Amino acid sequence: MSSLKTLVVSTFPNAKALPLWAGADAGIFARHGVELVVDETESSAAQREKLAGGDIHIAQAAVDNALSMIAGGRDVIIVMGGESGMNDFIVRPEIETFADFRGRTLLVDSPDTAYALQARELLGRAGLEAYHDYAIQPAGNSGRRCRALMTSAEFAGAVLNPPFSSQALLGGMKSLGRMVDLLGPYQAGGAFLLRRFARENAEIVEDYIRGYVESLEYVADPANAPAMTATLARRLELAPDVAAATLRQIVDPGFGFTTKAKLDRVGLANVLATRARTEGPDARLADSSRWIDEGYYIRAITR
């Protein structure tokens, strides 16, 4: 049995990190025996590199990054869901349709993962081919993409999540639609980690899952809304009205966090389908039972 107590969990510095921030501040993770260290990553590429190298223990981020690692030969498992992305396709004011991206540039985190693949899917439906009809520019996390989009007319649009989607809209940008409305269910954020680490540290992995699920409930409790709004405002340097609007988005059950962070199998099938259409089929991803292990989640929430 592992004696590990400190757990380094990587996430992106956006509103979807609220359960980690709030759970740590309220002592929820500590009550479950977890000394939580939150690593705020600058990009998917950096997060994958840190996970592979053992610098972080768990990634709480888009599970398509786990698929990218598996396709690259890493023994990674997905153990929990979380949310469907909470994403809007945000564009500059002059962009009216996806077809208007012809000859323009799409901002992404990393070109071959998660929301970049969703964006490529939508642009493909408009008859546009990546790298031929439009350029792709890696810019890092949602905050970096938002700043680049709002400061340079060189870029036509980006997939953004709260609070940056709200900031962009308030700054004069517009949305071509919410990604879940445009593409259907999608298993975006979740928890994934190296299989070996999970096996050697099963107890703390399950403790983390219990703490995360309890933190989700804490964030969604209307009684905690003032404190959650204040946390978002402080952590992300938001104006109070933006923080309040952001909280409403992320606790909306039809758009925000998934109840009890349950893995969405239909949404995951859509992730795989999007990856296959944009990146091509990969035999290493064909059998999901090899890289999904919900045993940790089931044991965690039933204990």
List, for residues 85-123, the tens digit of each pLDDT value. 899 999 999 999 999 999 999 999 988 877 899 999 999
CB within 8 Å of 81: residues ≥ 6 apart: 63, 187, 189, 190, 258, 261, 262, 263, 264, 267
Are the CB atoms for 178 and 257 separated by under 8 Å? no
- Render pLDDT for 49-76 as a digit per residue (tens, 0 to 9): 999 999 999 999 999 999 999 999 999 9
Q: DSSP letter at 258?
A: P
Kindly state the average pLDDT of the residues 217-234. Answer: 97
Give per-residue pLDDT as tens, 5-18.
899 999 999 999 99
Q: How far is CA 38 from CA 10, 142, 233, in A?
A: 6, 18, 18
* Contact by Cβ (8 Å): 293, 193: no
pLDDT, average across residues 180-199: 95
Rounded mean pLDDT, 214-218: 98
How would you write 198-230 as a 3-class SS string? HHHCHHHHHHHHHHHHHHHHHHHCHHHHHHHHH
Provide the sign of the torsion angle of the four alpha carbons 134, 180, 81, 17, taken in this order. Answer: positive
Given a cut of 50, is residue 194 above it in pLDDT?
A: yes
The pLDDT assigned to 39 comes to: 96
pLDDT at 3 over 70: no
Calculate the dihedral angle through the C-alpha atoms of 229, 231, 235, 237, rounding to the nearest 10 degrees.
40
**Tokens at 108, concatenated:** 């992404």
> What backbone phi and psi angles, to 5 degrees, belong to 36?
-85, 130
Q: How confident is the model at residue 225 (pLDDT cuts 50, 70, 90)?
A: very high
Contacts of 302 (CB under 8 A, 6+ apart): none
Sequence-distant (≥ 6) Cβ neighbours of residue 167 within 8 angstroms: 146, 238, 242
163 closest CA partner among 241, 262, 273, 63: 241
The burial of 278, by beta-carbon neighbours within 10 Å (0-12 exposed, 13-18 middle, 19 or more buried), is given as: middle
Q: Give the pLDDT confidence of 235-259 residue by residue, as tens digits.
A: 999 999 899 989 999 999 888 999 9
| 49 burial type by CB count under 10 A (0-12 exposed, 13-18 middle, 19+ buried) | middle
In the sheet where 135-138 sits, what is the strand order? 135-138, 105-108, 155-160, 88-91, 174-178
Residues 287, 272 contacting (CB under 8 angstroms) = no
Tokens of 20: 């980690």
Q: How buried is residue 6: exposed, middle or buried, by Cβ count under 10 Å (0-12/13-18/19+)?
A: exposed
Confidence category of residue 4, pLDDT binned at 50, 70, 90: low
Q: Are the C-beta atoms of residues 161 and 42 closer than 8 Å to each other?
A: no
- What is the token pair recorded at 145? 């993409």
pLDDT at 113: 76
Please write the tens of the pLDDT for every residue from 119-151.
999 999 999 999 999 999 999 889 999 999 999
- Per residue in 269-289, pLDDT (tens digit) is 999 998 898 888 999 999 999
Which residue segments constitute the domains of the chain, with CATH numbers given? 6-84+186-302 (3.40.190.10), 88-183 (3.40.190.10)
| Residue 168 CB partners (closer than 8 Å, separation 6+) | 90, 146, 149, 150, 160
Over residues 172-194, mean pLDDT:
94
pLDDT of residue 279: 86
Position 1 confidence tier, pLDDT thresholds 50, 70, 90: very low
Q: Which 3 state secondary structure label does DSSP give 49? A: helix
Please give the mean pLDDT across all residues of the chain.
94
Segment 235-241 long-range contacts (CB within 8 Å, at least 24 positions apart): 235/13, 235/17, 235/18, 235/21, 236/13, 236/14, 236/15, 236/163, 238/163, 238/167
